[in-house]
Structure 1
């Protein structure tokens, strides 16, 4: 059954919906009564229908109440208003009330906080939007795919709230030890750590610039030019191509500066509380459907500090990483039998070497990434003809998506997430370049812009579908973990998610069962999206005490 829930000022409305999506039973209760009512209805296995998981679910979790399923109407609305699969538009397409909301505040909200959010969506709004979405999906020729995508999106929203609530186990003392070993003792506010200052002195000496501030890009660029280093920027990739005594210490300085700024002592004080790191996640925060983070840098935990991610006593971390996910997804989308065969031979890049596409694994990786991202020069360009001969269906699939983007068309992922259209300025530039009065520079710039957008759409269909696979993997794994039960009141819990990688903190006695569940969920995710097409989604799975040991 479906149960709709909506804020109603100082109260909340809860209603059971009938098969047509209309209210059949409803009641108005105080916010403080909501956890008990949700717990009571959850025993009947409902699907909760609400406007925004991020505004309701964290407070329920704080009250000790978890739900198995929901339909997040804002997440689903964002998909349906853009999807080319939704041939019948939503009646609420221009309704600003269903647009994207600002992320919830960093502090965990309470039930009483939720009563004062200013969200004006009443129960009737929630019910009407739900019915409209259901009707739009039912009318689509791709109804099954859209239905799966909306369910996965909604499950992802539940997981995001649960990840923040549970937190990633984090040893603050070990983190401080790692920082001290890399940066030196904790400095006073506004003072560089000792290791960074030593490196800055080496840079100054090598460039003959005793007063240089290496944190100032303009000053650093001038000092490099004065020393005869011909670079256009101070970016790492460009500096790494230069041979000069200043480059080595400068690159090391930049690496430590990123660590100090993003994950140093201030970060530790702000984001690690009670032995857990609780960042904010934004499901589908990126246009392709990938997640983003709100505070804490959840999606950018550098390898230097992963040794501080340590399982609680009696538990292990089951770390699983989907190997070469995007190429495998491409093989399945394109129905490329030859490439699918390569996925079943373990390491895909080694299989490309065996198939004669490239002479080394490194070159095979370059060739495949070139196909995904549209690289046409260098090693990628040299190897592309071999890739086309070996895997014609896969390469044709992304080429078609690129041509669509170059023409200003919208492309769509396997389950139904569509790309944004290029900007009006982009379209105007393309129209103008086709006129006789357009100059050669304007035509050249328009062609460059078209190729750039084509590279975006080329990757959009693959990265977006990979995000859909990962959401289905996550949703199925969440369900399986709940079925495993617990050991000494410690259930296995998802504690981290990064695009194609998950971490489960599990009682040691359940480690093997959790590893099996992770693999089984990956297989099911592939079957949910691609049926019986024989692509293997390989995983690297490790059961470790600390994240850094996962390799």
Structure 2
């Protein structure tokens, strides 16, 4: 496949390199150039998809394949099966520092160090690093899926989630009152704050201030170290109900209120900014808009266009199924056949109840080895020794201070790197006890191998589905065809003409099966989907 390298140059110029030859074109000619070459199916190689692709999409140009050098550089630099010295050379320190493009960044050709990066030089280093790795085929699949995910992310931002501002504003008015002046609380939120002040005999209290709130609670005989909802519910006092109500409404007001609409909804579309592989495990994060923490309260505003529907698909019990596949545990894979893996374990005679299966399996993946989860582990370990042995070995490796890797070769952050602290199992930064640090790191590595491989499966699913959707329906631009509008770890949402809903659902399922075969080869692992065809996202069902 032809690889066409695009590099930024000063003065809104683009360097195009292909087959050892290079030329320059004006930025204004880029879209027409790419559209003309796209018929040959090249792979576009550039520094950051989020910087190049939106410009093309705005001009109505979709590309089929790319290689995102920034994403792949950081992936390969940490991959245990890659000789990192092969990534060193001219400009490599700049690639080390290159971060993701975010919505607040300047336009494509800002005056920064990336203007001097030569895509063909870095691409040659990355290809050599992959080719000489003993895991070359797996790493090749991973970088292709990662880069395709970056294309999907840009397309989802471009197309946007169909959004009814009138529905959203009606919801806000019903829960909070009319939109307040800038800097003020809406009426119903202020009333809840007043109830909290009255019940705590604190007329000047700002309930948004944690120190003030803890002090006021303490003066009323309520000793707490935090103001989380779980902690507040443990207290018997009249202030608990209005305080919990205030916190819920305040969260809605600040995270998805009128200001959120102003910033993130344009032309009837919610346009969040995604960051593929934004976490250490390869899971996506969000650069803006809060797409990955889509609150239930506002989902009713996500409404398909007239004559269109939202096809929402969740994978049932993704991580346990991935564990079965990556470990090669055929007994667990047999239990995973069908819609409910946990019930399959019961039917297999491994445990007495579905709840026991869930507790034991999740305990094995997340390190809950005591209590009820721990009591389930011994029996399950005997029944599924290969699967349980894989996560146990990953945990022991972490406790020894060693890094672990996913099925396709993504490496985890080292114990001393600090970035593994994004895990909820990570210890406080000031913890000095090395034994406890290593045990905590072992819990992180235990889950990393499974969660990271699940992210790889999801990337392959998304990449294949993206191309399948492009072939459906009209010959027009992205928005005229069935298209992805949302992705969250194990869930996709497709905006599609109503008449194509069944076809889209079938393609989603086929893409899931293809992803399973790509990763787990001859081992048959089912990835059943919970599919809903709805007008509003709030109507979609969720997996158990």
Summarize the Cα distance change of 1:274–1:137 in structure 2 as closer, same or farther, 3 Å threshold. Answer: same
Q: Does 2:252 match 1:252? A: no
Distance in structure 1 (CA, Å) of the matches to 2:365 and 2:111: 43
- 1:486-505 alignment runs, 5 A limit: 486=474, 490-505=480-495
Q: Which 5+ residue runs of structure 1 have no aligned equivalent?
A: 18-22, 427-441
Distance in structure 2 (CA, Å) of the matches to 1:424 and 1:101: 18
SS in structure 2 opposite 1:146? helix
SS in structure 2 opposite 1:192? coil
Q: Does 2:460 match 1:472? A: yes
Distance in structure 2 (CA, Å) of the matches to 1:140 and 1:292: 28
Q: Does 2:34 match 1:32? A: no
* Counterpart residue number, 2:435: 447
- Higher mean alpha-carbon deviation, 164-173 vs 351-360, is at 351-360
- 1:74-473 alignment runs, 5 A limit: 74-87=70-83, 89-92=85-88, 95-106=92-103, 113-120=107-114, 125-355=118-348, 360-423=353-416, 445-473=433-461
Query: Residue 18 of structure 2: which of 16, 32, 35 is its match?
Result: 16
Distance in structure 1 (CA, Å) of the matches to 2:213 and 2:120: 59
Query: Residue 528 of structure 1: which of 518, 525, 531 is its match?
Result: 518
Q: Which 5+ residue runs of structure 2 have no aligned equivalent?
A: 420-429
Alpha-carbon deviation of 1:293? 0.9
- Do the aligned partners of 1:58 and 1:108 also contact (CA within 8 Å) in 2? no
Distance in structure 2 (CA, Å) of the matches to 1:120 and 1:180: 46
Distance in structure 1 (CA, Å) of the matches to 2:348 and 2:233: 33
Summarize the Cα distance change of 1:389–1:60 in structure 2 as closer, same or farther, 3 Å threshold. Answer: same
Distance in structure 2 (CA, Å) of the matches to 1:335 and 1:83: 22
- Do the aligned partners of 2:337 and 2:344 also contact (CA within 8 Å) in 1? no
* Counterpart residue number, 2:423: none
Alpha-carbon deviation of 1:305? 0.4
SS in structure 2 opposite 1:156? helix
* Counterpart residue number, 2:426: none
Alpha-carbon deviation of 1:319? 0.7
- Do the aligned partners of 1:316 and 1:507 also contact (CA within 8 Å) in 2? yes
- Do the aligned partners of 1:97 and 1:121 also contact (CA within 8 Å) in 2? no
- Do the aligned partners of 2:338 and 2:528 also contact (CA within 8 Å) in 1? no
Alpha-carbon deviation of 1:473? 0.4
- Do the aligned partners of 2:71 and 2:147 also contact (CA within 8 Å) in 1? yes
* Counterpart residue number, 1:436: none
Please give the root-mean-square deviation of Cα atoms over the aligned residues, in Å.
2.4
* Counterpart residue number, 2:538: 548
* Counterpart residue number, 2:53: 57
Alpha-carbon deviation of 1:482? 1.0
- Do the aligned partners of 1:88 and 1:139 also contact (CA within 8 Å) in 2? no
Alpha-carbon deviation of 1:491? 0.5
Alpha-carbon deviation of 1:415? 0.4
- Higher mean alpha-carbon deviation, 244-253 vs 390-399, is at 244-253
* Counterpart residue number, 1:516: 506
- Do the aligned partners of 2:329 and 2:384 also contact (CA within 8 Å) in 1? yes
* Counterpart residue number, 2:4: 3
Q: Does 2:38 match 1:46? A: no
- How many residue pairs get aligned? The number is 526
- Higher mean alpha-carbon deviation, 223-232 vs 147-156, is at 223-232
Alpha-carbon deviation of 1:331? 1.1
TM-score, length of structure 1 as denominator length: 0.90
- Do the aligned partners of 2:17 and 2:120 also contact (CA within 8 Å) in 1? no
- Do the aligned partners of 1:59 and 1:108 also contact (CA within 8 Å) in 2? no
Summarize the Cα distance change of 1:466–1:173 in structure 2 as closer, same or farther, 3 Å threshold. Answer: same
Distance in structure 2 (CA, Å) of the matches to 1:470 and 1:425: 26
In the TM superposition, what whole-angstrom CA distance separates every residue of 1:303-330 from its partner, at most 9, and x where no partner exists?
A: 1100000111111111111111111111
Distance in structure 2 (CA, Å) of the matches to 1:450 and 1:358: 31
SS in structure 1 opposite 2:71? helix
- Do the aligned partners of 1:487 and 1:507 also contact (CA within 8 Å) in 2? no
Alpha-carbon deviation of 1:547? 0.3
Distance in structure 2 (CA, Å) of the matches to 1:470 and 1:198: 45
Distance in structure 2 (CA, Å) of the matches to 1:330 and 1:117: 46
Distance in structure 1 (CA, Å) of the matches to 2:110 and 2:45: 20
Summarize the Cα distance change of 1:205–1:338 in structure 2 as closer, same or farther, 3 Å threshold. Answer: farther
In the TM superposition, what whole-angstrom CA distance separates every residue of 1:196-225 from its partner, at most 9, and x where no partner exists?
A: 233334434444444433212122222333
